[in-house]
Structure 1
Amino acid sequence: MAHIVTLNTPLREDWLAQLADVVTNPDELLHLLQIEADENLRAGQDARRLFALRVPRAFIARMEKGNPDDPLLRQVLTSRDEFIVAPGFSTDPLEEQHSVVPGLLHKYQNRALLLVKGGCAVNCRYCFRRHFPYAENQGNKRNWKVALEYIAAHPELDEIIFSGGDPLMAKDHELDWLLTQLAAIQHVTRLRLHRRMP
């Protein structure tokens, strides 16, 4: 696997520990940020039934205490607006729920999107894949093998996009295996990563 050195990169163990130390309760999140839960904030707490609240404490540390309008907080805080169903709303806005093989979306002629992992470090309230059937499209070696066979059988595919959730949630050895397998498919000349993690 290629080794990339960057400055100020935390040790992998620290990164994993940060992912394990998450806040999943809106009351706890507001308490940590010293924000009083008014009627509007309390009304949105049930929205975590629609999509779980998941915020690492390291992300919370970047939020402004006492500010209910902090932009980072607004990305993750549950809202009663999530219960509003607007005319024309779709739970599948990108028409991704019908994959050709589990975990692989081939919508465009020369590229396919491989769902490497279903989870993210932070659950953003605006996530367009919050309704995606990840249980049927799990990022595991069995599904990846089927997806790689499909990619190998379709020479028009010259670009593969690793996505998810966040593909960087995969373990190093999983990414190494995927990259090695993909490198063996000669017609694949580009790899992109759709991610939010640093």
Structure 2
Amino acid sequence: MNWKEEVRTNITKASELREYMDLTDSQVEHLDRILSQFPMTVTRYYLSLINWDNPFTDPVFRMCIPSIEETDLSGDFDTSGEADNTVISGLQHKYSQTALILSTHRCAMYCRHCFRKRLVGISDDETADNIEEMAAYVSQHSEISNILISGGDAFLNSNQVIRRYLEQFCSIPHLDLIRFGTRTPVVLPMRIYDDPELLALLKTYTQKKQIYVVTQFNHPNEITHEARKAIKALLDSGIVVKNQTVLLKGVNDNSQTLGLLLKDLTRCGVIPYYIFQCRPVSGVKNQFQLPLKQGYEIVEAAKHLQNGQGKCIRYAMSHVTGKIEILGPMPDGQMLFKYHQAKYDRDKGRIFTKDLAPGQAWLDDSI
């Protein structure tokens, strides 16, 4: 099967999970109620990584199969203010040097911790079908030095659409690089290693503008032979591959697991550069978020297990006001933070401290 045929065999209904596990009729009905609001789609490949003898403690299961905790809608559906940063349909301009494009609402697998649950698999209201208009905006804003083509998943676009993006944006002189945000190396690696047309396309255009692929491996069990094969195919095509991990309760919330993940990534040529605090998204917050103090301790202990490449990571949160690095505790018990990227000039490089309440997992907007 090619990757499109593979996606067509995805598990999307609660009743289809009976192929893998025992579910009562009432459990199926409950899952169906969750899926009516937050859809599920999981590749057969990704399902094969689950330990079905004990699925409820399996980290891969936790990332792809709905939980009753998703019915807790405390939090916010847009924790980073994406709607406020949208300048034209599908294009956000939050940081002066970066334009973010939501190219599709489709993914090969819908992550249960997704911070775009309001959008992914549900609505194409915020996604782009106006590539030329977006390219014109970027052309008129010389401060923009890079674009991030995301979604959904940028590699769920057809090769023809990906070519259109590359044709339009590679011709803009002030762009230094083009990034694609995709989780296909993790959940659908054959999309990459079994698609010579895509690889040829990337290899051709990275000669004109350096292309980066930004992916998201969250657990060592995701770094399989197939995943390494996809990574190698990208590297052999001249692509720089970087990884952003989300710190998730019940998935990678201990230093040994996180440390092994970072070591495995650097071993196969992937550069880990962010460990993100899970966002307080409705249907996600109470299921996956860890307190900031605990998160800092986990990340620091994992960093101590790394060589120089693995130590490059930053523990950060994507706050409505910018990317804020979590630097650690002060002698007086306060936590030290620094703006790594800022939406407003007044915050650029700003260092500040905060008293955190017990269990606090996010910063409010009044910082």
* Stretches of structure 2 lacking an aligned partner (at least 5 in a row): 186-367
1:38 is displaced (CA, Å) by 9.4
Aligned to 2:125: 136
How far, CA to CA, are the matches of 2:144 and 2:165 in structure 1? 16
Amino acid at match of 2:13: N
The answer to whether residue 85 in structure 2 is matched with residue 96 in structure 1 is no
How far, CA to CA, are the matches of 1:111 and 1:47 in structure 2? 35
Relative distance call for 1:34 and 1:82 in structure 2 (3 A) is closer
* Higher normalized strand content (fraction of residues): 2
Relative distance call for 1:51 and 1:126 in structure 2 (3 A) is same
Question: What SS is found at the alignment partner of 1:137?
Answer: coil
Largest Rg, 1 or 2: 2
Q: TM-score, normalised by structure 2?
A: 0.46
The answer to whether residue 149 in structure 2 is matched with residue 145 in structure 1 is no
Aligned to 1:4: none
How far, CA to CA, are the matches of 1:44 and 1:16 in structure 2? 26
Q: CA RMSD in A?
A: 2.0
How far, CA to CA, are the matches of 1:107 and 1:83 in structure 2? 30
Aligned ranges 1:1-198 → 2 under 5 Å: 14-29=2-17, 31-37=18-24, 43-69=30-56, 70-86=58-74, 89-98=75-84, 99-132=86-119, 134-140=123-129, 143-198=130-185
Amino acid at match of 1:48: L
How far, CA to CA, are the matches of 1:107 and 1:148 in structure 2? 16
How far, CA to CA, are the matches of 1:33 and 1:67 in structure 2? 11
Amino acid at match of 1:137: E
The alignment-based identity, stated in percent, is: 27
1:191 is displaced (CA, Å) by 1.3
* Stretches of structure 1 lacking an aligned partner (at least 5 in a row): 1-12
Question: What SS is found at the alignment partner of 1:161?
Answer: strand
Amino acid at match of 1:145: E
Question: Runs (4+) of structure 1 moved beyond 3 Å?
Answer: 35-45
Relative distance call for 1:136 and 1:40 in structure 2 (3 A) is closer
Which has the higher mean CA deviation after the structures are superposed, 77-86 or 163-172?
A: 77-86
Amino acid at match of 2:70: E
Select the structure with the greater relative contact order (CA < 8 A; seq sep ≥ 6). Answer: 1
Amino acid at match of 2:83: Q
Amino acid at match of 1:117: T
Q: Deviations over 1:1-41 (max 9, x none)?
A: xxxxxxxxxxxx61111111111112321x22234459778
How far, CA to CA, are the matches of 1:97 and 1:131 in structure 2? 11
Residue correspondences, number: 181
